[in-house]
Amino acid sequence: MSRDVLVLNSVGKAFREYPSQILRFLTWMGIPVRNINEHWVLRNVSFRLGRGEAVGIVGQNGAGKSTLLKLITGTLRQTTGDIFVNGRIAAILELGMGFNPDLTGRQNAIHTAGLMGFSQADIMRIMPDIEAFAEIGEYFDEPVRTYSSGMQMRVAFSVATAFRPEVLIVDEALSVGDAYFQHKSMGRIREFRRQGTTLLIVSHDRTAIQALCDRAILLDKGEQRMDGEPQVVMDYYNAMIAEKENNAITSVQLASGKVQTISGTGEAVVTSAALFNHAGEQIEFINVGESAELRVQVEAKADISRLVFGYLIKDRLGQDVFGTNTHHTGQALEGIRAGDAVEFSIRFNVNMGAGAYSVSTALVSTDTHLVNNYEWRDLALVFTVMNVDRTYFVGSNWIPPSISITQS
């Protein structure tokens, strides 16, 4: 119990609409009023966050993510349920908001830290760190109106994370700023986490969620649809955004214990997917650098005017390693009849690092699964790459080097 830093108990939020503002004022006086329209944006959300956990919040626009964050930070008050926070919450939301353009970076930094509730002594002690982390040089003492948006972001991030909070909320801020500062800020977020900060990350970026989070929570139309492993949740989310009429999403627990998500309208389905080595033997393990062939059998259940096959290799964390489709290779099939069987054979060299990989397959009509999604199958195939005879290396790519050393 004491390890939980944030607990939400069936939290719900409704915006009340009064037929007249006079009636709203009456409710403050404790006079009961009828005809109040309640517009629920969040219902029955419950979860606990432990110390040092990293949890992603995913969902489409309007799913209630921002409202949930505002409830957690405390700017909005929940209509039902309870929220317990054990410690300080900091949010990296809309960085640089509230900066006064006429004041210098330093003055704004002091002001913002004050807004976060820190004393003058604390702020003055931490100022050199903020200045050093932002790395904007002499601009720190220039008015903010002369800053580029990237510089403003740097100062804002430095201030927002100057003190380690118990819970850090990161909202889409991961993709702001230049590559160098992105790495630097991610480093700081990771460092906080090592020290026990709980992360709450809101992003549409699958890579970010899967790279950082041990858990993900899926919100849909104000309801909590899923709470589980990021990969499973992201697969489901991916299927959900293609969800249309007749589109069923199924999650199957595989023998390996993993959850396979299959979605689509079902005009075409993958009947089998397997990996073969250069000798034509079906395999599950393969050596680094060996050539491999992926064979996928597809059956059309209905007439299809245009069929595109796509596949995506992901590493064990669910991060994309490589993916393409026959639209991009210029091999889309036209005029498929119901009952037709098609085999796709993909040959490639396994220039990948040791580890487990999965293959997702997609049967679509264009270059994305958002137009016609006949079938999207995650975890269609799992294989393991082993380093049998290559020089030891780390990473998910095999980029064999030739190293020459000159000693004088």
Provide the binding-site residues for another protein, judged by CB under 8 A.
15-16, 21, 24-25, 28-29, 70, 73-77, 89, 91, 93-94, 97-98, 100, 102-103, 107, 110-111, 114-120, 123, 143
The runs of H, that is alpha helices, within 195-344 are: 206-212, 230-241
Cβ-based nearer residue to another protein, 25 or 348: 25
Total count of residues recorded for the chain:
408
Cβ-based nearer residue to another protein, 21 or 253: 21
Cβ-based nearer residue to another protein, 3 or 16: 16
Cβ-based nearer residue to another protein, 120 or 349: 120
Cβ-based nearer residue to another protein, 110 or 208: 110
Q: State whether residue 89 is helix, strand or coil.
A: strand
Q: Are 7 and 71 in contact (CB under 8 A)?
A: no
Q: How far is the CB of 377 from another protein (least distance, A)?
A: 41
Q: Which residues of 171-209 are buried (b: 16+ CB within 10 A; e: fewer)?
A: bbbbebbeeebbebbeebbeebbeeebbbbbbbebbebb
Q: How far is the CB of 11 from another protein (least distance, A)?
A: 14
Cβ-based nearer residue to another protein, 36 or 332: 36
Q: How far is the CB of 203 from another protein (least distance, A)?
A: 18
Cβ-based nearer residue to another protein, 29 or 341: 29
Q: Are 39 and 185 in contact (CB under 8 A)?
A: no
Cβ-based nearer residue to another protein, 74 or 395: 74
User: E strand or H helix at 199, and its extent?
Assistant: strand 198-202
Q: Are 239 and 263 in contact (CB under 8 A)?
A: yes
Q: How far is the CB of 212 from another protein (least distance, A)?
A: 23
Largest CA distance in the chain: 90
Q: Are 251 and 261 in contact (CB under 8 A)?
A: yes
Phi and psi torsions of 22, nearest 5°: -60, -40
Cβ-based nearer residue to another protein, 103 or 283: 103
Q: How far is the CB of 334 from another protein (least distance, A)?
A: 52
Q: How far is the CB of 91 from another protein (least distance, A)?
A: 8
Rounded distance between C-alpha atoms, residue 24 and residue 36, angstroms: 9
Burial of 72 (0-12, 13-18, 19+ CB in 10 A): buried
- What order do you get walking across the sheet with 291-300 strand by strand? 268-277, 291-300, 341-349
Rounded distance between C-alpha atoms, residue 379 and residue 234, angstroms: 13
Q: How far is the CB of 259 from another protein (least distance, A)?
A: 36
Q: Are 392 and 354 in contact (CB under 8 A)?
A: no
User: E strand or H helix at 91, and its extent?
Assistant: strand 89-92
Q: How far is the CB of 314 from another protein (least distance, A)?
A: 36
Residue with tokens 């082993």: 386
